[in-house]
């Protein structure tokens, strides 16, 4: 076999990829025939593919490259740490400097008394930790039957058996025996799709009160925790009505149910604060973190837990952990990422510059005949495609078919937007400039125009 490098022609790379690489969340047979796009390098907000296209990555990878691509400091820190201590575990009465420093830094950044960190390799692993931790917490307090966890339909909490069960994606549950027992899903606060005639505020309250109904149905002495993303990301950037989170918080407190905020997407600046919990006034007992923790430069996640939860868990041996919990290279890279976010005032940039620029650009797109509404929180947004202006009616036929067409048209414009059903998602690197946002919006408009023309041609409107 020849040496596999960037210098091989695209079709050879694609053929090897199709022959040996199974892609996540993909129909691999169809993808193999089409040929995956080969990304060769990236800088700032732009990707380059093997054909030399410069593609604006409006998704920051998978909602994670918060500081943008190609930051040399990150590679230098990783190289230094690999030479000094590439690996050591934290299981057997040992620790190391990068994990100590990162845990202390996260305790400083996290709100309230969230002062203790259990590390994982990803968001999925961290949510598996949370599931076991909340059950262990109540068992330690003499209530082992307080073990059920309530989540939402259309939530995303990861792809392992535990985290996929916590998630509310039915298309995932259909494969591999999920959800596991003891996990329940209530309505999501998606006013556009499910709010009917209610005002957003009334609908937000009604959705939150489903939590109380479910707690009373199961018995408060059986419910360990509620888990939710401050803004559902993979569900389509579902920004909840203002009434939703305060009511959830009140209900959790009233019934002694732990509140887990899954900050895997919202954390580290995405919504214009360090954490989404701060944007939405949530005081969680546990926060799940990953993605923006290292800006995707190294795989790392974790659970930041309150003094109370930590003190109960610390009184027993918690028989849980991963080989890469607190991996020194990942921890050092995450620390450098946090230094960059703080020292370069990236969150101020999101709040005062980038999010207002994106909002203005997308408000202009609201005029487009295909656009129903724009959902937005900080630098995460979705464009709801709709067949009839001024109506929340969905497209006829299979949901997501129009979104898929639009995503293909985005690719043709050298723009990465993802589609969730018929919503087009953007979640760009937080360092994106107003000029780059203009490029994003221009390409998005061209993709919408092309989609509109294609729908008219195919008689899909």
Residues of the shown chain interacting with ligand PMP in the complex, contacts defined by CB under 6 A: 62, 122-124, 127, 156-158, 229, 233-234, 262, 264-265, 290, 301
Residue nearest to ligand PMP (CB): 123
Q: How far is the CB of 261 from ligand PMP (least distance, A)?
A: 10
Q: How far is the CB of 126 from ligand PMP (least distance, A)?
A: 7
CB closer to ligand PMP, 234 vs 431: 234
Helix (H, G, I), strand (E, B) or coil at 153: coil
CB closer to ligand PMP, 102 vs 405: 102
Q: How far is the CB of 228 from ligand PMP (least distance, A)?
A: 9
Q: What is the CA radius of gyration of the chain?
A: 22
CA distances from 196 to 97, 199, 200, 238, 398 (A): 54, 8, 9, 16, 21
CB closer to ligand PMP, 158 vs 372: 158
Q: What are phi and psi of 273, to 5 degrees?
A: -130, 170
Q: How far is the CB of 181 from ligand PMP (least distance, A)?
A: 21
CB closer to ligand PMP, 301 vs 429: 301
Q: How far is the CB of 166 from ligand PMP (least distance, A)?
A: 9
Q: What are phi and psi of 260, to 5 degrees?
A: -105, 120
Q: How far is the CB of 62 from ligand PMP (least distance, A)?
A: 6
Q: What are phi and psi of 262, to 5 degrees?
A: -85, 100
Q: How far is the CB of 121 from ligand PMP (least distance, A)?
A: 8
CB closer to ligand PMP, 130 vs 243: 130
Q: How far apart are CA 31 and CA 24, in angstroms?
A: 11
DSSP 366-418: TTSTTEEEEEEETTEEEEEE-SSTT--PPPSSSTTHHHHHHHHHHHHTTEE-E
CB closer to ligand PMP, 234 vs 405: 234
Q: How far is the CB of 188 from ligand PMP (least distance, A)?
A: 13
Angle between helices 328-343 and 72-84 (to 10 degrees): 150
CB closer to ligand PMP, 333 vs 386: 333
H/E stretch holding 162 reads helix 161-166
CB closer to ligand PMP, 92 vs 171: 171
Q: What are 56's strand-pairing partners?
A: 46, 415
CB closer to ligand PMP, 131 vs 234: 234
Q: How far is the CB of 178 from ligand PMP (least distance, A)?
A: 14
Contact 269, 430 (CB under 8 A): yes
DSSP alpha helices (H): ranges in 64-160? Answer: 72-84, 97-109, 123-140
Helix (H, G, I), strand (E, B) or coil at 201: helix
What DSSP designation does 350 have? I
Angle between helices 200-218 and 244-254 (to 10 degrees): 20
Q: How far is the CB of 234 from ligand PMP (least distance, A)?
A: 5
Q: Which two tokens stand for residue 446?
A: 């061209």
Furthest-apart CA atoms within the chain: distance in Å: 67
Q: Which two tokens stand for residue 447?
A: 């993709």
CB closer to ligand PMP, 156 vs 452: 156
Q: How far apart are CA 202 and CA 209, in angstroms?
A: 11
Q: Which two tokens stand for residue 369?
A: 């005949």
138: nearest Cα among 225, 218, 217: 225
CB closer to ligand PMP, 14 vs 151: 151
Q: What are 43's strand-pairing partners?
A: 46
Q: How far is the CB of 299 from ligand PMP (least distance, A)?
A: 7
CB closer to ligand PMP, 125 vs 210: 125
Residues 278, 166, 429, 71, Cα dihedral to 10°: 100
Could you give the count of Cα atoms lying within 13 Å of 24 in the half-sphere of its Cβ?
5
Q: How far is the CB of 232 from ligand PMP (least distance, A)?
A: 8
Q: How far apart are CA 20 and CA 35, in angstroms?
A: 13
């Amino acid at each position: 076999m020849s040496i596999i490098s960037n210098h091989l022609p695209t079709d050879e790379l694609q053929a090897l990829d199709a022959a040996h690489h199974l892609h996540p969340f993909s129909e691999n047979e169809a993808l193999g025939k089409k040929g995956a796009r080969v990304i060769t390098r990236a800088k700032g907000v732009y990707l380059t593919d093997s054909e030399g296209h410069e593609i604006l990555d409006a998704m920051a990878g998978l909602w994670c490259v918060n500081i943008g691509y190609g930051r040399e400091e990150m590679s230098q820190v990783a190289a230094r740490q690999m030479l000094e201590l590439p690996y050591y575990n934290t299981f057997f009465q040992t620790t190391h400097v990068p994990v100590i420093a990162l845990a202390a830094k996260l305790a400083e950044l996290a709100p309230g008394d969230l002062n203790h960190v259990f590390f994982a390799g990803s968001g999925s692993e961290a949510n598996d930790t949370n599931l076991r931790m909340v059950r262990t917490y109540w068992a330690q307090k003499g209530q082992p039957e307080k073990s059920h966890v309530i989540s939402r339909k259309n939530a995303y909490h990861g792809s392992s058996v535990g985290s996929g069960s916590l998630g509310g994606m039915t298309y995932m549950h259909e494969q591999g025996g999920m959800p596991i027992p003891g996990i329940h899903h209530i309505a999501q606060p998606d006013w556009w799709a499910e709010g009917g005639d209610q005002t957003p505020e009334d609908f937000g309250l009604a959705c939150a009160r489903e939590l109380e109904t479910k707690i009373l149905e199961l018995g408060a002495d059986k419910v360990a925790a509620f888990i939710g993303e401050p803004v559902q990301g993979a569900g389509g950037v579902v920004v909840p009505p203002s009434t939703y989170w305060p009511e959830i918080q009140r209900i959790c407190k009233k019934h002694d149910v732990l509140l887990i905020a899954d900050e895997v997407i919202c954390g580290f600046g995405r919504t214009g604060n360090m954490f989404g919990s701060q944007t939405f006034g949530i005081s969680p007992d546990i926060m799940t973190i990953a993605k923006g923790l290292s800006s995707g430069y190294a795989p790392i996640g974790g659970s930041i837990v309150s003094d109370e939860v930590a003190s109960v868990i610390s009184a027993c041996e918690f028989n849980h952990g991963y080989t890469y919990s607190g991996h020194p290279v990942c921890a050092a890279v995450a620390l450098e990422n946090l230094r960059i976010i703080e020292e370069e005032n990236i969150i101020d940039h999101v709040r005062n510059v980038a999010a207002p620029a994106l909002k203005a650009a997308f408000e202009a797109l609201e005029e487009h005949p295909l656009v129903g509404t724009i959902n937005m929180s900080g630098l995460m947004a979705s464009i709801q495609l709709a067949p009839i202006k001024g109506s929340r009616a969905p497209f006829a036929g299979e949901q997501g078919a129009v979104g898929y067409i639009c995503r293909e048209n985005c690719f043709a414009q050298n723009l990465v937007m993802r589609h969730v059903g018929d919503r087009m998602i953007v979640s760009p690197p937080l360092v994106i400039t107003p000029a780059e946002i203009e490029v994003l919006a221009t390409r998005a408009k061209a993709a919408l125009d092309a989609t509109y023309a294609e729908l008219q041609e195919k008689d899909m409107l």
